[in-house]
Structure 1
């Protein structure tokens, strides 16, 4: 994409009402625009990152054997009355009526709708286990929406639901989700820790929330420094194996503790050497639940068990805050100049800065680089504006592309361009064709 043809409404000044780093930088980088309290338009740069995050979530869900669907954002209140949650959910639920006077609601979560779909079609234990999921917009009417996309009223969420014959099978689904989530966050360049949590209005006996380590996090956590060396993406995990999922889970969960839980802290201290203990803050970006028959019993989601009995299925739900993740990524990856995107979620793989727009040799070199990088299957952003070099560098730093290629007359006379890492700030001079190969190697392309 050529920046002269792109819609990137960056701001020079920091908006006064933006309280946290991610909100400030998303507004300044032209990623979002507020339409109402807690409700945002996603502008091209922000939408591009949102779609990259969504794609990673889809890929890891399907790798774990989960099946995508798409449910409506509007639900009938009758389903919620069946489950007993309609009156008790609270004012966060946006209630409305259609033109015929039927009570409706804008989905804050989807347990009832998924359970209703299941009970309409699945009748036998032979059709289990089953896990279906969606990535869909939700609405919760927060009394004080704040912090941009971190605590908005409208948000994009992945919610999945497993249906199993027994509690043991449902707990395996729970562990499978936990492992798949760790892989998901890892691919985004995030260190996530699954902490035991409260279930809230969703209910259930077992639940973990996933915290991304960041200085601005709302939750405290002790962790083993070696936890950052665990790499699930490098392992061929058999998600159907109860034993393997459990062993990965135990390897990870023995290495952290809540700071506000004295029992967890004492266990942690007994297991982790003092030299490896660290304390940090975390931002919640996902949660998983096992809630047994809480929804299947009142909604009649039963199957035959093979012995002539109709039994309610055991269920769990599993959420990832897709739009919230974007804010968390920025909270965990920024400096005083702007965003620093991890390679896995960057909106563009690199930026090309032309230091002398209008110079025939420099223009030609940039055009050749742009075409060669694109031919490798990468997506570069070419700053071809007639702007001073300082303004171009400031824009690139603000929007946070991981790699910048700087092309100028002086370097071209020596046959080189400059490749700069946004994260480290380190630069090296390379031949143009070598830069293309280096980027292809970084992004694991042939």
Structure 2
């Protein structure tokens, strides 16, 4: 390809609305343009990178025996209603009606649709199956941001496995985990596999692949010593045991008229946060529920959802709280609450005595609370957010909390969808068997942006060779110099013959402009062809990562580049 024919609308200044490095550089480098919030047009350079990422994913999916499909992006509501997710997906699902009044949705994911397709599987002999596709997904994000990292329209590689038994699912899950590790290594992403919540997908287990980046919106807890890693929605830690005194024989009331927060109670009455019981009130699937946390701990709402198997959880309103407990937030507690009000408590409170909590009377608290004696806890669970420095649950070392970008997610779905949608096959004993499923996703454009987040410098992007829009740029210096032009054309042809993905910068521009553009768009190698070098029979080869420049004989330049590309790939 010749740069004079290529559409690359580079910008000299950063876009004013770009908040992430990848957003800023992809716009400046002429890779993307925004149509509206959360919707981006991919320009030729981005299409080339995307295609190479897709090719790598396709190769690794083929390697594990997966077959490629292409399913519709527009789905009938009835299938989603049967699975129960029509309501669960809430406002993130784009919904519409056709001219006949039928309810439809733009697909957020394709578990339901692939499951319906699997109804044509007849026998256990048809299994296992691994099916996948590259398809546009739609999610009505409330606050799309950071360019391609958080959008409303994107390409997902989503795969689905169907097996007769759980051992088959385990094998498919492990195959995908290995494939994902190879994919991310090949495209240059330092992705870490972490334990994760399955969320609205359901299922027994899930693993996220997270790329450390300040542009990320997810927090991962990891151990630098043993490798333990989990999303904060799943992470645990080994808190040190706390030795409490016995306290009084019964809780004692005391006035706290101006103490409505954990900090105010600590400051005004000397009750440290770790000796307080924080009472949160949530509505879980329509039922008011008390959630008890240690005063210095934060609830992870997804842990509550996962623990209770809930489909809808929200904080209760002040009016709902007042009606149920007779007090306002800041004076709430679970001592003596009505028997029909569920109480779930975080494990960090188990066995604690001589604690302080609200008395369900405005401006009054209780001290000397023995949780097992005074509170009817129906369920104990790990509900708290892990913080940096807490001991690792596996080895005891101090944990780190890292901001990350989620670039892939794999799930053991189980039989949630096949049972709900009525899929069964003839088993080996002649009975009907419900297949067990897995689901495996990679966001293609998000992976592209994550690569930029992890591969850039002050001059621009630094693409890994495997997915760079071009592997090498031949830059022609010297306007109207026939000898230089002919030498560059010869090199261009030789590199094409060697199957090197080459861009010939034949523009009528100053050398500085050409060099800046090549650096900005991140082409891994640059061959500079100029009159001064040709006079000595040489050209300059510059490596984008690190900026090293070597002088090479013209006759050896194509072979030198071929070796560099092969070694880097």
Residue 215 of structure 2: aligned partner: 216
Residue 60 of structure 1: aligned partner: 60
Counterparts of residues 14-29 of structure 1 (less than 5 Å) = 14-29=14-29
Residue 435 of structure 1: aligned partner: 557
How far, CA to CA, are the matches of 2:514 and 2:221 in structure 1? 39
User: What is the root-mean-square deviation of aligned Cα atoms in Å?
Assistant: 2.1
DSSP-derived class of the 1:72 partner: coil
Query: How big is the shift at 1:55?
Result: 0.8
Structure with greater Cα Rg:
2
How far, CA to CA, are the matches of 1:411 and 1:224 in structure 2? 50
How far, CA to CA, are the matches of 2:396 and 2:539 in structure 1? 50
Range with bigger deviation, 45-54 or 304-313? 304-313
How far, CA to CA, are the matches of 1:206 and 1:259 in structure 2? 13
How far, CA to CA, are the matches of 2:526 and 2:402 in structure 1? 31
DSSP-derived class of the 1:86 partner: helix
Matched, 1:163 2:169: no
How far, CA to CA, are the matches of 2:114 and 2:211 in structure 1? 28
Counterparts of residues 340-359 of structure 1 (less than 5 Å) = 340-359=462-481
Q: Which has the higher helix share?
A: 1
CA contact (8 A) 1:357 1:385 kept: no
CA distances 1:180-237 after superposition (whole Å, capped 9, x unpaired): 1000111112221111111121111200110123343333453659xxxxxxxxxxxx
CA distances 1:84-120 after superposition (whole Å, capped 9, x unpaired): 111221111001111111111111000000000001x
How far, CA to CA, are the matches of 1:418 and 1:279 in structure 2? 44
Aligned counterpart in structure 1 of residue 538 of structure 2, from 416, 424, 435: 416
What is the number of residues matched between the two proteins?
A: 414
CA contact (8 A) 2:38 2:150 kept: yes
Aligned counterpart in structure 2 of residue 372 of structure 1, from 494, 517, 520: 494
Residue 231 of structure 1: aligned partner: none
Residue 395 of structure 2: aligned partner: 270
Counterparts of residues 250-399 of structure 1 (less than 5 Å) = 255-258=227-230, 261-263=235-237, 266-267=391-392, 270=395, 280-399=402-521
Q: What TM-score results when the alignment is normalised by the length of structure 2?
A: 0.70
How far, CA to CA, are the matches of 1:222 and 1:291 in structure 2? 25
Query: How big is the shift at 1:310?
Result: 1.0
How far, CA to CA, are the matches of 2:160 and 2:49 in structure 1? 26
Residue 196 of structure 2: aligned partner: 197
Shift of the 164–177 alpha-carbon distance from structure 1 to 2, 3 Å rule, reads same
Residue 83 of structure 2: aligned partner: 83
CA contact (8 A) 2:228 2:394 kept: no
How far, CA to CA, are the matches of 1:364 and 1:278 in structure 2? 57
Q: Give unmatched runs, 5+ long, in structure 2.
A: 239-389
CA contact (8 A) 1:73 1:136 kept: yes
DSSP-derived class of the 1:385 partner: coil
Shift of the 53–90 alpha-carbon distance from structure 1 to 2, 3 Å rule, reads same
CA distances 1:129-175 after superposition (whole Å, capped 9, x unpaired): 11100011000000111111100000000000000111121111111
CA contact (8 A) 1:221 1:282 kept: no
How far, CA to CA, are the matches of 2:78 and 2:394 in structure 1? 50
Query: How big is the shift at 1:433?
Result: 2.9
Query: How big is the shift at 1:281?
Result: 3.8
CA contact (8 A) 1:221 1:281 kept: no
